[in-house]
Structure 1
Amino acid sequence: MRYNQFNQPIGEAIENYEIGSLPDVTCFEGKTVRVERVKMDHAKDIYEYLGPDSDQRMFSYIPLDGFSSYEEFEKFLLEEWVSKNDPYMFTIIDKASGKAVGNLGLLDMDKKNRVVEMGWVLYSNKLKRTRQATEAQYLVMEYVFEVLKYRCYKWECDHFNAASRNSALRLGFTFEGTFRNAMVYKGRNRDTDWFSIIDSEWESNKKRLQTWLSDDNFDENGNQKQSLSSMKIN
């Protein structure tokens, strides 16, 4: 424990600290997925799971509704995702089919303090609860900690969004608490649950994720042998 000249406890010193950088990436190449910077070439595939044929349950806990026309969606994609750097959006491409099957993004980027949030996680039904989804999260997490060298990686979700909360815990995030009355969206209150992984926890969580993602953990039918939730972070 460190103390200042007034005998008050203070945080540990950080030597040679510099502010961070913003994301600048074209593609992460994984074994089962590519995670690409979102672009208009992805539009038709994305529209399949965000358009009128989408599973409407995926919009319950985000400030977005599904799209009823392709023109409306294209305008949103260009103005809100492709043209902006916060959120810095990615598209998840299934390498087996070559099709876009989901999206996620980095947002609320605080380069001064090296803090960034994972958000806008939108998975098609083809991606939910798959090895590909976990590998996509792993590739972005690796970039955040090993290339950007950020100190804190956040995950926030509606308090009632059990699926998002469970995903955060499964991926190794630690529950920090609930911010009450944190947001108003879709005409209703949102209490926000906060989760985080910090840089000192990355190496142990990285090994855990790599172990789960390894070919040895899947049978000939692609079914997991051991669940990620059952693997301890050492």
Structure 2
Amino acid sequence: MVIPTLENDRVKLCPLDLDNYRLLEPIAFEKDLIYYSPSNISTPNHLKNYVVTAIEDYKTGVALPFIIYDKQHEAYTGSTRFGLIDKKNKVLHIGWTWIGHKFQGTGLNKNMKFLMLQYAFETLEFEKVEFRIDERNIKSRKAVEKIGATLEGILRKDKLMQNGYRRNTCCYGILKEEWPHIKETIFKFI
């Protein structure tokens, strides 16, 4: 599967690779940017390792990583990806998303998620898109609820965080048959 470029008037999602990841350094090192993530992007070396892992996952067919460009602000703002791609069951995850603090709450994430959901359901013809979020991350949980995702359950103490804490993970999902209604209501202005 080739990593597509997805874009609309607001955002452009391009393949994340070892040629462009350094454009994320001004954003990646912001304080508490990925506080609720088990990943580490806190130094140039950690960021590079994060990207190398994403590329390895792409090569094995389980991820499509993107760098995010905000057209309104003319700036690279973060990263996201499709991951845990299960071609047999036609299920994938949208996650590993981090956006610089000043770009949060600007509509960027909603535009991004629209492009990704549209691609997952309409181009790849997958049956389900999932999101996994730290139970404590109320801001991200509300964001996926606002785009129509349903809380399906909570995995207890399933992820080990950088500080040794074991987090509970909220599992959200959107089904293919729910997408037309979500597209016409929640995303009608995009």
Q: TM-score, normalised by structure 1?
A: 0.73
2:42 alignment partner, one of 50, 62, 67: 67
Please give the residue correspondences for 1:95-134 in structure 2 after superposition, counting only pairs within 5 Å: 95-134=71-110
- 1:204 Cα deviation after fit: 0.5
Q: Is the 8 A contact 1:87 1:108 kept in 2?
A: yes
Change (3 A) 1:25 1:172: same
Instruction: Give aligned-pair identity as a percent.
Output: 22
Is it true that 1:46 corresponds to 2:24 in the alignment?
yes
Please give the residue correspondences for 1:122-161 in structure 2 after superposition, counting only pairs within 5 Å: 122-161=98-137
**Secondary structure at 1:31's aligned position in 2?**
coil
1:180 alignment partner, one of 152, 156, 176: 156
2:170 alignment partner, one of 188, 193, 204: 193
Counterparts of 1:156 and 1:193, CA distance in 2: 6
1:81 alignment partner, one of 51, 54, 62: 54
Q: Is the 8 A contact 1:154 1:195 kept in 2?
A: yes
- 1:98 Cα deviation after fit: 3.6
Q: Is the 8 A contact 1:152 1:198 kept in 2?
A: yes
Counterparts of 2:158 and 2:142, CA distance in 1: 20
Change (3 A) 1:198 1:66: same
- 1:58 Cα deviation after fit: 2.1
Residue type matched to 1:65 in 2? Answer: N
Counterparts of 1:59 and 1:27, CA distance in 2: 24
- 1:83 Cα deviation after fit: 4.2
- 1:59 Cα deviation after fit: 2.1
Q: Which has the larger radius of gyration?
A: 1
Q: Is the 8 A contact 1:42 1:100 kept in 2?
A: no
Q: Note the aligned Cα RMSD (angstroms).
A: 1.8
Aligned residues: 186
Change (3 A) 1:78 1:66: closer
Q: Which has the higher strand share?
A: 2
Is it true that 1:27 corresponds to 2:2 in the alignment?
no
Unaligned runs of 5+ in 1: 1-22, 214-234
- 1:60 Cα deviation after fit: 1.6
- 1:78 Cα deviation after fit: 4.6
**Secondary structure at 1:40's aligned position in 2?**
coil
Q: Is the 8 A contact 2:40 2:47 kept in 1?
A: no
